Chain A
Amino acid sequence: MAAWLGWVIESNWTDPFLFAVYSIVKPISGAAILVIMYGIISQGNYDNALFPYIYLGNAFYIYVGAVMTGVSWAVVDDREHYKTLKYMYIAPIYIPLYLLGRGVARFITGSIAVFITLAAGILFLNVKINFAEVDWLLFFVTLILGVVMLALLGLLLAGITLTVARHEGFIGEATAGALYIFSGAVFPLDVLPEWIRPIGYFMPTTYWLELLRRSLVGNVAQAFPTLASFSNLEILGILFGLSLFFGTISIWVFKICDARARELGLIDRTTNY
């Protein structure tokens, strides 16, 4: 039900045609900025391994903004905008599940954006994916594990959002923006200054994006030195371990923040921002 509610909120503001245009134009434009930047400097040489690295990383990163921010944004939306969070809290439902359900709608719209971006890349922008060589099992296992990890990170942000005022809208965006850099979404981590790289190695999104690239374009993705010495299985193990770690922390932080918000009467606070 929460997922359905989220979908209705996300999509019912306009007619289907405008919604489709909105869903297509936004992700394609974001990807096109990178394609043009790449095209200018490489003078149109799209055969370099860096191109699929950038394009695929950017395409799948849409999930980070959509799922993680989607879960935490539900708190802002329900508390400040619709003023319904207090009713959700007194209803006989499990709040973390409700918030995760709201994130599902963003997962659906995010999936549409990812699909459109990938399709545009393959059809018009010379992104070479040989579907016969794609490791589908690795792809789906990684995708599902990553989406669950992102949803749990979203729960962590939702907890923090419950306890702050006036700037809760920025929390998700700033976290997603920082992860974009530290995870090497659109450039290999080796480009970062050496002292910043360990942050990237600690982020599950780094391994998630690497595995997605490897499952789709195989050896092309493995050409970069950052994680070249690790096998797919080793990276999957690291991703699973980090997801478990961050997932546990997220649930723990949410519980603490939720208790604090109830204690301080923050559930129905509106700040008009």
Chain B
Amino acid sequence: MDNPKRSNEALLRPYSHKNTGWRLFLSTIIARAYPRIIGQQREVSWLVFDLIMPMLAVIAYVFVYRALNAPEEYIGFVVMGGAMTAFWMNILWSMSSQLYWEKEQGNLALYIMAPNSMMAILLGMALGGMLATALRALAVTLLGIFMFGVTYTVSSYLQLFLVFMLAMIALYGMGMMMASAFLLFGREAWHMANLAQEPIFLASGFYFPIKSLPFWVAAGASIIPLTLGMDAMRQLIFPTGFEYGFMTVQTEILILAVLSVVFVFTAKVLLAYVERIAVREGRITESRR
């Protein structure tokens, strides 16, 4: 039995601290990022699988190029594409499909009811996902170096940093936007995520230079931030990378900056729409749909 006197004391005690405004926004981001950065690392088998799965495809494609006696740059292209695969998979399964899964497990209604901003939750998911996936991408890159002897020669660290950061902002902005869109797809969300794997690996040139595709196909695929991000990075980290570039690095940086703004803004608009439907109709949070 609880001590009634102590229970009353607990009820009468005022809140020690209650964040509001930007403090609440910031603490929500940190709180949602926490399970992505710390929690996910606790399941060691996931970590192992997360590293092994992209490596299997990388190894297979490397041996295809070896069987074809391809120039060594292509081995590097495949390893880099394999590393970036981790980000795309993270976008599909841990960003785009996330709100749908939260709905299935009954958490989405709690998210919407809570006094925090949904945008902060999505930003937290993105930040956590980005950092956790960066570790995996780094591991794939290192494994590529040790297993296949891939060498990198960076021509401009500043541009490389800028390209990577802009590609990540645009990509995770796209993920935030897709999270709301996938929620509206209902039970088709899982299949949509599944469908967005091989076609995107193909169109975005994960395993070959995007320049090899017809111009308009490559231009269309540039809506996926990783397409231009990878193209620019290949130009910046391989000595002969410029020969395989689709556009100049400067142009790609500019387009990535525009994509970043467009995707983050659209994500905000779509999220507001989803919240409106959820509150007005109670339909979005219904887990049987």
Chain A interface residues (CB < 8 Å from chain B): 13-14, 18, 22, 25-27, 29-30, 32-34, 36-42, 50, 54, 166-167, 170, 173-174, 177-178, 180-181, 185-188, 191-192, 272
Contact = CB atoms under 8 A, between A and B. Distances in A.
Question: Which secondary structure dominates where chain B touches chain A?
Answer: helix
B53 A173 contact: yes
Contacts of B57: 177
Identify the 9 closest CB pairs spanning chains A and B, nearest first: A177-B56, A29-B198, A187-B67, A170-B49, A29-B199, A41-B68, A30-B198, A41-B70, A29-B202
A167 B56 contact: no
B30 to A, nearest CB: 23
Given A41-B74, A54-B67, A187-B67, 16 more contacts: A13-B188, A18-B188, A26-B194, A26-B195, A30-B198, A32-B202, A33-B208, A36-B213, A38-B68, A41-B70, A50-B68, A174-B56, A177-B56, A181-B59, A185-B60, A191-B67
A22 B43 contact: no
B205 to A, nearest CB: 9
B198 A26 contact: yes
Interface of B: 43, 45-46, 49, 52-53, 56-57, 59-61, 63-70, 74, 105, 187-188, 190-191, 194-195, 197-199, 201-202, 206-209, 212-213
A187 B56 contact: no
Contact of A40 (B187, B199, B212): B212
A32 B212 CA distance: 13
17 contacts: A22-B191, A26-B197, A29-B199, A29-B201, A34-B64, A36-B202, A36-B213, A166-B43, A166-B45, A173-B53, A174-B52, A177-B57, A177-B60, A187-B64, A187-B67, A188-B67, A191-B67
Contact of B191 (A14, A38, A185): A14
B207 A41 contact: no
A27 B64 CA distance: 18
